[in-house]
């Protein structure tokens, strides 16, 4: 049940109506099955505190909406009818995650259990291409993934798109800027070929952080998730909640100055972290040309002991550690997580990052183990995008079509 078992945090206000109470109870029932299933109806009542008749009514509705299935359990050896167990439906509602990267497109469909059932990834040089062209290709890849899901009995109920750019809180559906793609004020609905399948955009670093939180057992409640592709993005999870900032612009770690009089950055400032720890900067420092998969190349060269690559990664790690020092002193997180490309280069980045933090974090206790790599690596954003829909369904099953009237 990867991606769905962890609660999202926060306390919901009491429902103001009978309809609201039923919606909340449906969420409580499906949440119990998601966290502890398979469960019998009696077990659900025990976990939730609801009466057995109430649970039976909720379960019947959730089965009718396609969210739960009920099957006979294996014979127990006891006298009487075999038991029946409730589980999340692995053929029915699903979430589609899409990702536009600087060098790739990706799509993933997950079922209600959070299990990935369809994967698609194609290499594409997206920087500088018209937004409409890139979005049309992303839509086509998503449609292909949905067709594959339909063949497995899955029905996509929501779509989320991970983008390497700023997605403001309002208006939704807008990518304010994605400098590494060359986008500015791109409204998805203006370019998406099918108006019925326009996804909800979200910053890829935010989705990577949420995926990390949802996926990791006993995850830190307050942490900074930092990842890199062409640019560097960070996301803040505070007390189990994503912190987006007043306008949705939080997490621009790549433009934190680490050398104020340093190299000019495409953002117009000087000495930004991206100029020292970004993908292009590391390749340049290592004396390597840009290639289709620079992360794999850097890992291969570093693993072979190439001196220039090792120096470049050490320099990048020290710059990253310097930037993260500011994050630690400002936010006081439990952990720092290296995701995306950084996760695949963590063997060489972690030592200099940890050394820099050890030297500079002096006003609070800090241990090297508080900096770790993500287990999801470069899959994090597209998984987070797909899991977002599933978690919304678990939180409010009435998003699913109601069962036909008897």
Predicted confidence at residue 73, as pLDDT, reads 65
Condensed to tens digits (0 to 9), the pLDDT of residues 116-161 reads 999 999 999 999 999 999 999 999 999 999 999 999 999 999 999 9
Answer whether residue 246 shows pLDDT above 90: no
pLDDT higher than 70, residue 188: yes
3-state secondary structure of 108: strand
Q: Which residues contact 59 (CB under 8 A, 6 or more apart)?
A: 29, 41, 44, 68, 70, 86
pLDDT, position 9: 40
Express as a percent the part of the chain with pLDDT over 70: 93
Question: How confident is the model over 60-98, as pLDDT tens digits?
Answer: 999 999 999 998 764 445 555 556 899 999 999 999 999
- As a whole number of angstroms, the distance between CA 98 and CA 107 comes to 4
Give the N- to C-terminal CA distance of the chain in Å, as an integer.
32
Residue range 262-281: mean pLDDT, rounded = 88
| pLDDT band of 7, cuts 50, 70, 90 | very low
Contact yes or no for 317/353 (Cβ under 8 A): yes
- pLDDT value at residue 2: 57
């Amino acid at each position: 049940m990867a991606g769905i078992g962890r609660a999202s945090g926060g306390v919901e206000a009491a429902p103001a109506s009978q309809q609201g109470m039923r919606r909340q109870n449906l969420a409580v029932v499906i949440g119990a099955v998601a966290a502890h299933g398979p469960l019998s109806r009696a077990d659900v009542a025990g976990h939730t505190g609801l009466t057995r008749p109430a649970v039976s009514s909720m379960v019947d509705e959730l089965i009718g909406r396609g969210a739960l299935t009920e099957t006979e359990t294996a014979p127990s050896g006891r006298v009487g009818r075999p038991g029946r167990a409730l589980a999340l439906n692995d053929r029915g509602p699903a979430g589609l995650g899409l990702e536009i990267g600087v060098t790739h497109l990706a799509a993933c469909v997950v079922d209600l259990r959070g299990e990935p059932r369809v994967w698609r990834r194609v290499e594409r040089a997206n920087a500088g291409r018209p937004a409409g062209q890139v979005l049309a290709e992303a839509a086509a890849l998503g449609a292909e993934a949905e067709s594959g899901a339909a063949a497995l009995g899955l029905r996509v109920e929501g779509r989320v798109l991970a983008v390497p750019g700023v997605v403001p809180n309002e208006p939704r559906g807008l990518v304010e800027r994605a400098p590494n793609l060359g986008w500015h004020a791109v409204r998805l609905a203006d370019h998406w070929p099918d108006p019925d399948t326009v996804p909800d955009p979200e910053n890829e670093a935010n989705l990577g952080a949420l995926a990390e939180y949802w996926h990791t057992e006993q995850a830190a409640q307050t942490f900074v998730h930092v990842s890199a592709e062409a640019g560097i993005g960070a996301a803040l999870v505070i007390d189990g909640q994503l912190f987006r900032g007043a306008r949705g612009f939080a997490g621009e770690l790549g433009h934190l100055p680490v050398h104020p009089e340093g190299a000019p950055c495409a953002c117009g400032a000087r000495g930004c972290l991206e100029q020292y720890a970004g993908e292009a900067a590391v390749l340049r420092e290592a004396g390597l040309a840009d290639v289709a998969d620079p992360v794999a190349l850097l890992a291969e060269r570093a693993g072979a002991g190439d001196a220039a690559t090792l120096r470049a990664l050490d320099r990048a790690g020290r710059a990253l550690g310097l930037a993260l020092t500011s994050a630690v002193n400002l936010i006081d997180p439990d952990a720092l997580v290296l995701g995306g490309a950084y996760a695949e280069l963590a063997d060489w980045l972690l030592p200099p990052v940890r050394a820099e933090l050890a030297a500079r974090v002096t006003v609070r206790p800090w241990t090297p183990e508080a900096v770790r790599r993500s287990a999801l690596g470069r899959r994090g954003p597209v998984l987070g995008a797909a899991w977002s829909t599933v978690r919304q369904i678990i939180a409010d099953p009435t998003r699913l079509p109601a069962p036909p009237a008897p």
